[in-house]
Amino acid sequence: MTDTIRILGIDPGLRATGWGVIALSGARIRHVAHGVIRIDPSLALAERLAGIFSAVSGLANEHAPMLAGVEETLVNAGPRSALKLGQARGAAMAALARERINVCEHAPRQIKLAVVGTGGAEKEQVAFMVQRLLPRAGKMSADAADALACAICAAHHLPAARLKRGAA
């Protein structure tokens, strides 16, 4: 008997937050859905964060994931960008926590390694491999591909996530 586990991947951003849902049955992954949350950039920061929070809560309710993978903030972009990205990430993670969804955090290199086989892969390589691993996903934006890659990474690290949850 194999249980199916739904995993939501989030690639946070203030302008565009990519999301993707996969189903894991044993060692097989299947595409469920993907998309991008776009918040009006003319809104105040607090309103944009509230929009991300609300949209991620809605995705959690609609797709009922048991686990979520969220990409960690890349600090090489500069402190101001990293801070804003961290706020978007925090809004998404707070929404997932409110919905009682276990959250795994993954560094960009870890996600690339899980999907492409090398931590130094380019965005195009990640998108290509996501398309190969999830051929029924169809055409997708780079943000959605990154989110699906994050979900795939979370699936690869699922035993560790279960152990961590069991120890808590």
DSSP designation for 72: P
Residue 24 one-letter amino acid: L
Strands of the chain (E only): list them: 4-11, 16-25, 28-38, 67-71, 102-106
Q: How many CB atoms lie within 10 A of CB 110?
A: 18
Vertex 123, ends 97 and 13: CA angle to 5°?
Answer: 35
Catalytic residue among 71, 99, 105, 124: 71
Active-site pick, 72, 124, 143, 146: 143
Answer yes or no: 11 catalytic. yes
Active site (annotated) includes residue 3: no
Residue 47 among the catalytic residues: no
Catalytic residues: 11, 71, 143
